[in-house]
Structure 1
Amino acid sequence: MTAYRIEGKPLIWKKPGTRLALVCLVAASVGLSVAIISIGKVLLVLILLLVLLTDYRSAINRTALRELWTPLLATLVVLVFTLSLLWTSAPLDSALGAVGKYGKFLLIPALIVLIQTRHEAVYALIFFLGGQTLLLLGSWALYFHVPVPWATSNMATTAYAVFSSYLDQSIMSAVVAAVFWHLRTFAPNRFLFYAATAVSVLALGCVFVVFTGRTGHLVGIAVLSLAIFFALPKRYRFASLLVPPLVLVVVFLSFDKVAQRLSAVKSEVSAYSAETGQESSSGTRLKFWTTSVEAISQKPLMGSGAGSWVTEYNRIEQLKTPLHPSLGVQSHGNPHQEFLLWGVQLGVGGILLLFAFGGAVLLDLRKMESPIARAGQSVLLALAVSCLFNSSLYDAYIGDFFCVSLGVLLAYGFHSREISRGSVAAGLCSTLKMKIG
């Protein structure tokens, strides 16, 4: 690796300790406040640019960027949204704000490039899971009315969220449960194996017992179903189609909060269909979704540009009620559905781009060791389910969480694979030497 120096001293971003400290800060920060996350990710992306500009010839950087599809697709997402500024119908400040929100995709290539050894990847994973464990313990403490001085959420005493909302934390808890469950096989001793299992159970308990977020409940059911699918022998996996509905029934009958919240969906949808005018979470989403489909149908090729959802929603609703514009014009930032949000902004191609990004992550994960691949696939499934009912990649807190989760897991899997390749190569060389000798 090339050493860049100023007056005999290495540049600060070239120091492994400084780089690793920043990576660990970002990995841990997705369990902390938005302010810490924002500072960490800006510094991380800045260091990424400096490293690529000054040390692009590094074998590690070139290998990671050449062999993995995810960094390329993540960068392409940011470029496409930036390019859409040329035709956006949104005000400039809203358009730039949207591009900034999707800039979080750069966290993925940043983590993959800046984590340069398996040893560093282990540290990043420890800080990531450590931060999430503290978050889980904080939520359980709040649930049992134990004071948590650092809890800053306005939902801390009512919904037991430590820093953000119960919706974000319920989704995060489900993801963390899956990651701990699948990676527990890497534990070096029995104590850590059972500790990881216990944290996984605690995290899933947070989803179904502590929090009331319906999206979190669905994500929990999805990752639990996927874990059962992986545990089934291959000859029985044909029965995996029955797993999700069975898990749903068991969870519905076992946890009161899940039953109450899922039952509420039926009444909310019925009220929306009857046009009672009663506001509800499900009714609002259905209204947003139908209007979003109309916006996509009007501009299917290129969409309306970055940050244009509010503008297009207001325009369509005002056309429906021209005599009462105050009833049609709203100021909501997103339709609570990521796929439709991309469709409004970038057209049908935007929806395909989001699918392509998910496909790139899946393709990269399938090249890695089974526990890492399964943990990453659980994160990807959680993201897909979450995006069906929320704009999870657009939102700040939960979007950063998903990008950091994927970045850390992909870096860990990539460097673990490199070590395996090195071991195989060393074994082959030893065998050849013995034969030649």
Structure 2
Amino acid sequence: MSVALANVGLLFTLIFWLLGCVWGSSLRDARQALSNRVAPPALALFAWVVVAALWSPADGGQIAGAVQKYSKFLMLPIFIGLLHDAATRRRCWQGFALAMLITLVVTWLNVWFDFSWTRTHNQGFGRDHTVFKDYIAQGIMMSFFSCICAYLALKSRTRWGTIAWGSASALAAISILFLSSGRTGYLAWFLSIFVFGLLVTMARSRTALVTTVSGALIVLAVAGGTSLALQERMTQAWNEVASTSGEVTSVGSRMAMIGFSLEQAQERPLLGHGTAAYPVLAKTHFVDPDWCSVVCVHPHNQFAFFLVEQGLIGLTLFAWFLLAIARQGWREEARRRALMLAFLTILVVSNMTHSSFWLSTENHFFILMTALLMAAARHREKS
């Protein structure tokens, strides 16, 4: 239901944007958005997804479904154009922050109180307390929220503002490490906050840099030694890697999907097997119904997904998309550079463990947040 409403919202966005091109200023905004460095790779990647449908073994419905999922790349320049106004961008940041603050508060309250509408219903500290969707989606969003709070703490001009936002960043981090079972969240938070701290301190002094690296190692050691949820999930991952039982496991299935994807990519390395081809190919390889129910839908790795279906051309276009964000981030002042590259770190981690641009919740998050970050970059370049 939520996915359908999101798609309806995107449709109305496109319709009213087209009307604005005729009777308003949307055409001017669109031209400006197309000059944004992330727009060309996004449009090229979507175009290649459409072209790659020509040699796909999938049926029309499967291809249409895949094109619809990747259509957010087509919408990205439109979103950037709609976010040309600083006040609009500020309201978007405030809306995201409010949503994540509510999620954070409910996550902590769920330790003691049960809520009928939350994802999990298991009280107690050290257990998974996912509020919405699943712990992967919540983990990556909460990781970025932790970085945003750290950014606002550094930017604050008052002592109380620094304390408040710093505390929110710490509480978000604890919710990921101690109140979630998401290994993607663990990795996304640690690497993103490490990148954030590293880039902020690089602009200051060598002593600050050494302190950041040392602090990151201490946090990692403390979290690893005290978080039961983290310990259990890491132990489980190790056991799944070492297991030879043939049972369907999270890590084991991912290893199987990566191996299968690399085998298929070798057959058609340049062009790929075509858009929406992965499920068709996987069903002929994974004949066990239990395995196929997990591994035949998508390969849980967006890089492998593009490689199998759109070949090296598609993977190169995706790399261009990531590089465009990185290049723009590097041009920013130290704190904003740290925030943008922390976001990019989360994006890469998520797409290495999940097919994040194929899955609706993560797709919407990464596309809309990319638009929000890059729209501000375009605005400053023009001013």
TM (norm. structure 1) is: 0.77
The answer on whether the counterparts of 2:177 and 2:230 sit within 8 Å (CA) in structure 1 is yes
* Residue 333 to residue 131, structure 1, CA distance change in 2 (3 Å): same
1:211 is matched with 180
The answer on whether the counterparts of 2:20 and 2:26 sit within 8 Å (CA) in structure 1 is no
Question: Which of 135, 138, 146 is the aligned partner of 1:169?
Answer: 138
Counterpart-to-counterpart distance in 2, 1:146 and 1:46: 42
1:316-355 equivalence runs, <5 A: 316-317=285-286, 332-355=296-319
Per the TM alignment, residue 295 of structure 1 is displaced from its structure 2 partner at its CA by 0.8
1:265 is matched with 237
Per the TM alignment, residue 57 of structure 1 is displaced from its structure 2 partner at its CA by 8.0
Counterpart-to-counterpart distance in 1, 2:368 and 2:235: 33
Per the TM alignment, residue 400 of structure 1 is displaced from its structure 2 partner at its CA by 1.0
1:220 is matched with 189
Counterpart-to-counterpart distance in 2, 1:412 and 1:215: 28
- Aligned with 2:110: secondary structure? helix
1:180 is matched with 149
2:270 is matched with 301
Per the TM alignment, residue 267 of structure 1 is displaced from its structure 2 partner at its CA by 0.8
Instruction: Specify every segment of 5 or more residues in structure 1 that has no aligned partner in the other structure, as ranges.
Output: 1-31, 319-324, 422-437
* Residue 238 to residue 350, structure 1, CA distance change in 2 (3 Å): farther
AA of the residue aligned to 1:228: G
AA of the residue aligned to 2:129: Y
2:93 is matched with 125
The answer on whether the counterparts of 2:248 and 2:290 sit within 8 Å (CA) in structure 1 is no
Per the TM alignment, residue 259 of structure 1 is displaced from its structure 2 partner at its CA by 1.6
The answer on whether the counterparts of 2:114 and 2:121 sit within 8 Å (CA) in structure 1 is no
1:280-295 equivalence runs, <5 A: 280-295=249-264
AA of the residue aligned to 2:227: F
1:36-435 equivalence runs, <5 A: 36-52=5-21, 59-66=28-35, 68-147=36-115, 151=117, 153=119, 155=120, 157=122, 159-187=128-156, 189-233=158-202, 236=206, 247-271=219-243, 275-317=244-286, 332-418=296-382, 421=383
AA of the residue aligned to 1:408: L
**1:165-207 CA deviation, whole Å, 9 max, x = no partner?**
1221112111111122124444465444433222222211211
When Rg is computed on C-alpha atoms for both structures, the one with the higher figure is 1
The answer on whether the counterparts of 2:152 and 2:162 sit within 8 Å (CA) in structure 1 is no
AA of the residue aligned to 1:229: L
Counterpart-to-counterpart distance in 2, 1:355 and 1:107: 19
AA of the residue aligned to 2:166: T
**1:66-103 CA deviation, whole Å, 9 max, x = no partner?**
2x211222222222111212111112211111111111
Per the TM alignment, residue 48 of structure 1 is displaced from its structure 2 partner at its CA by 3.5
AA of the residue aligned to 2:65: G
TM (norm. structure 2) is: 0.87
Matched residues, percent identical? 22
* Residue 103 to residue 395, structure 1, CA distance change in 2 (3 Å): same
* Residue 127 to residue 84, structure 1, CA distance change in 2 (3 Å): same
Counterpart-to-counterpart distance in 2, 1:328 and 1:190: 54
Instruction: Specify every segment of 5 or more residues in structure 2 that has no aligned partner in the other structure, as ranges.
Output: none
Counterpart-to-counterpart distance in 2, 1:216 and 1:82: 32
**1:318-364 CA deviation, whole Å, 9 max, x = no partner?**
6xxxxxx7688657310111100111110122221111110011122
Counterpart-to-counterpart distance in 1, 2:150 and 2:269: 42
Per the TM alignment, residue 393 of structure 1 is displaced from its structure 2 partner at its CA by 1.5
- Aligned with 1:371: secondary structure? helix
1:425 is matched with none
* Residue 189 to residue 228, structure 1, CA distance change in 2 (3 Å): closer
* Residue 349 to residue 53, structure 1, CA distance change in 2 (3 Å): farther
Per the TM alignment, residue 270 of structure 1 is displaced from its structure 2 partner at its CA by 0.5
Per the TM alignment, residue 214 of structure 1 is displaced from its structure 2 partner at its CA by 0.6
Counterpart-to-counterpart distance in 1, 2:75 and 2:335: 23
Corresponding residue pairs, total: 375
The answer on whether the counterparts of 2:299 and 2:305 sit within 8 Å (CA) in structure 1 is yes
